[in-house]
Amino acid sequence: MRDYLLYVGGRWRPGGGGAADAVSPSSGEVFASVAVADLADVDEAVRAAHAGWPDWAAASPFDRAAACDRVVAAITRRRDELARALTQDQGKPLAESYDEVDELAVYFTMAGEDAKRLAGSLPASTSAERRILTQRVPLGVVAVVSPWNWPYTMGAEIFAPALAAGNTVVWVPAPTTSACSALLTSVIAEADLPAGVFGFLPGPGPVVGDAAVGHPLVAGVGFVGSVRTGGLVAARAAGKTQLLELGGNGPMVILADADLELAAEAALEAAYLCAGQSCTAGERFIVESGIRAAFTEAVVEATRSRIRLGDPFDPATTMGPLNNEETAAKFDRHIADAVTGGARVCAGGRRAGGYPTSLFVEPTVLDGVTLGMAIEQEETFGPVVPIVEVDSAEEALRLTNASPFGLTAAVFTADLERGLAFAERARAGWVNINASTNLWESHLPFGGRAGSVSGRGRVGGRYPMETFTEPKTIVYPAPRFSRPPGPPA
């Protein structure tokens, strides 16, 4: 069993809150112990980050990019270790863990390159006697609070660009995946960042996360997680720069002219990737009435033939357990509520027996889901395809836009013009045409639509870098010759 510590001011040390066991959701075994920070630890980490910020901010962007390259090299060297730790701690299949580790490296590579191109400008002055210079400068200390579903990339999509732009970072990971997060911190530490530039503070969000985002020396806050917690973070961090990537209830709309084979294939990715524990998961499958029965049959058949629930370390497994009991209990409630309301379980629908823990749930298809059911209105965060029947594309768009969420959506149709028209009118920050809601590219802007509960700001590529820097204006006298130029040399 491995013991992990806090990382504060460039050194590892115990936490004032003791330590907590890391328990594998797939085996039920305690495999590590992780230090727990207390309020004094938070204060020390933030102050260390604040002390380290001026020199880090003053470094050349090319020097910070080189540091990002060293992180990428360390990730590459320890790729197998990172992937296996992620599967053990989070529960996702090993193949998905390797994908996440590879994307983690991409975030640091992009951040380093984008830092070199973070440009200012020379706007005109009203006076011929003045010159104006604007440049983007880092904010200072950024507190990052990240979730357990993608423990590496959901933190790195914020802290990699924040670091590359010249900020220092204090990271509070989700408690149920703090062991693999500690391992990632040890990888980042190999890059020899100056003391205080990156801090690691595992512990309960209501204590450690709350203290970090509310600390008076923290200038910016990045949070990825639930809508409810995001609201608490936003209030606690009032007055600070905020980037909040919150939940979704992504509709996947299947119109009558859609390619059913393509749509059914995409439904598997939308519903079962990471066991459905993704803010971009397909949470509602809105299907036109003429093809609803055929689509349901296709998805049921694909689920039964293609999805293999089991040990996430087994190469044959395509879906592992849920990460924690709270998520599993929500899955149970949503299924029970839907069945009580008249929905029909076509596949799965319950926890799977015969496994080391109770966190294994069956991949599920529900037909006959209607408006007002909890599974139609809320974010389930589990492996389920809830099918809602509509009479027209207009009704599908209305249901899409009726949700308070506005993160992702997808539409399937053989008519590209029709798909584009739907995408333009859908109230979501990201819309895919003929592709799963889970399709995204990490360099593109991603976040909730304004006015929705799905957050504010954008992750992806350079966009967090713009959030965690601000324009600084410098006005200076126009240069002039103090004496006539001398004769040519």
Tokens of 113: 């390159």
How far from 113 is each of 20, 161, 242, CA to CA, in Å?
A: 38, 10, 23
**DSSP letter for each residue of 152-172:** THHHHHHHHHHHHTT-EEEEE
Residue 223's nearest CA partner among 467, 28, 488 is: 467
Q: Which of 312, 315, 325 is nearest to 274 (CA)?
A: 312
Q: Is 279 a catalytic residue?
A: yes
Of all helices (H) and strands (E), which one includes residue 489?
none
Tokens, residue 429 = 């920050």
Enclosing H/E stretch for 343: none
Active-site residue, from 44, 100, 157, 245: 245
Query: How far are the Cα atoms of 31, 101, 316 from residue 320, in angstroms, in the given order?
Result: 18, 17, 11
Planar angle of CA 123, 127, 132, nearest 5 degrees: 30
Distances (CA, A) of 202 to 119, 199, 208, 309, 397: 35, 10, 7, 30, 42
Phi, psi of 303 (to 5 degrees): -60, -45
State how far the Cα of 433 lies from the Cα of 112, in Å rounded to an integer.
31
Catalytic residue of the set 68, 279, 362, 376: 279
Residue 157 known to be catalytic = no
Q: 141-145 and 384-390: which strand pairing?
A: unpaired
Query: Which residues are part of the catalytic machinery?
Result: 245, 279
